[in-house]
Amino acid sequence: MITVTKTFFPPIEEYKAYIDKIWENKWLTNNGDLTKELTAKLTKHLNANHLILMTNGTLPIQIALNAFAEQGEVITTPFSYVATTSSIVWEKCTPVFVDIHPEYLTIDETKIEKAITNKTTAILVTHVYGNPCDIEAIDAIARKYKLKVIYDAAHCFGVTYKNKPIFNYGDVSVCSFHATKLFHTGEGGALFCQDENTYNEMLYRHKFGHDGPLRFHGIGINAKISELQAAMGLSVLPYIDAIIQDRKRVCELYDSLLDFKLLRRLKIRAHTEWNYSYYPIIFNSETELLKTEELLKVNDIIPRRYFYPSLSSLSYVNNNNDLKVSDDIAPRILCLPLYYGLENDNIKKISELISTALGKS
């Protein structure tokens, strides 16, 4: 079976060497040696300003919203994974959806200002499939209205925009290190911020608010990463350049084999060094997508409808805004298998099956 993604497993002896260190240290969590080592190595590798490792990629969004959004209205995108919207609602804020750009699939920055009210406290938007939003426009709007910007950069490990690491934009950026991501710690994630004050506030909040063993800076939650997760990250990191390079190979072969008279692909924003995190294709209709998906599954190939449905359709949100593009794109987009080691013959088979489903002999 060919799945939409496959977790990269480093050589077990390399992971075991880190596990042996944990057993020697007798330390499993609370900022142990491996957590410190991974933090230092990732900070250097990503050229990050400030980085806090966390146990998943959702808690940092919630922590940032808890700190910044003040239970107000949060401008956001309907085209993202459910965690983006559910975090807003979980923190007792109100998501205000703004439609997406038809080519980049990120939030349409030209429609943000119209959605701002006197209740708006933050902007939470997604760099979709690692494709950056219009950062300059969003940041200018945020400055004008004195709003905080949180970037859901779950897909963005290694992405740069205008020669600057993508995580070094906004008040906070968040990345996922889930097992399905190109860099992973099994489960895990990170919060990135630009200044010392924000870093300290987020650091306190991710460890119950502790300021030393007996003092508390303020409210907090438990989002700490474990040494076991850090061990996986340290084992995967030496392979990250090879992983990205191999994913580039897969994407370029799809590019050469698929017929883009029948399909459309994601447009990557100019000045972006992309990481080949996903390979989405957009069909002319949902009917064509479903027909293609069925043919692939019959042949033991499992793509993913990602992102679907448009988040404005969730039962626990209300939407009064016009979201024609997101509502149109979400039913027509399909992510194809993409992972380290996906064989050329299988990429060719997938591409041929797609052509067959679309009636091209």
Which residue, 216, 177, 242, 204, is CA-closest to 39?
A: 177
User: In the prediction, which pLDDT does 212 show?
Assistant: 72
Phi, psi of 220 (to 5 degrees): -160, 180
Check residue 320 and give its pLDDT.
Answer: 75
One-letter amino acid identity for 71? Q
Interval 140-150 mean pLDDT: 98
Identify the helix (H) or strand (E) that includes residue 189.
Answer: strand 189-193
At the top level of CATH, which class does the domain 2-238 belong to?
alpha beta
Q: Is pLDDT above 80 for 360?
A: no
Give 321-341 pLDDT, tens digit per residue: 789 999 999 999 999 999 999
Angle between helices 12-25 and 227-236 (to 10 degrees): 150
Domain limits, the chain: 2-238, 240-357
Strands 280-282 and 264-265: antiparallel
* Residues in a beta bridge with 120: 73
Q: What is the pLDDT of residues 167-220, one digit of tens each?
A: 999 999 999 999 999 999 999 999 999 999 999 999 999 988 787 776 768 889
Residue 361: the pLDDT is: 53
Q: In the chain, what percentage of residues exceed pLDDT 70? A: 99
The rounded distance, in Å, linking the Cα atoms of 49 and 43 is 7
Q: In angstroms, rounded to a whole number, what is the distance separating the alpha carbons of residues 253 and 131? A: 20
How confident is the model over 105-118, as a mean pLDDT?
98
- Residue-wise pLDDT for 228-282, tens only, equals 999 999 999 999 999 999 999 999 999 999 999 999 999 999 999 999 999 999 9
Q: What is the mean pLDDT of residues 144-158?
A: 98
Mean predicted confidence (pLDDT) in 9-19: 98
Contact between 249 and 54 under an 8 Å Cβ cutoff? The reply is no
Question: What b/e string do you get for 266-276 counting C-beta neighbours within 10 Å, with b at 16 or more?
Answer: bebbeebebbb
The model's confidence at residue 349, banded by pLDDT at 50, 70 and 90, is very high
What mean pLDDT do residues 75-85 have?
Answer: 98
Spatial distance between the Cα atoms of 66 and 92, rounded to a whole number of angstroms: 9
Residue 5, pLDDT > 90, answer yes
Topology (CATH) of 240-357: Aspartate Aminotransferase, domain 1 (3.90.1150)
Average predicted confidence (pLDDT) for the chain: 96
| Nearest residue to 14 (alpha-carbon basis) of 240, 179, 245, 238 | 238
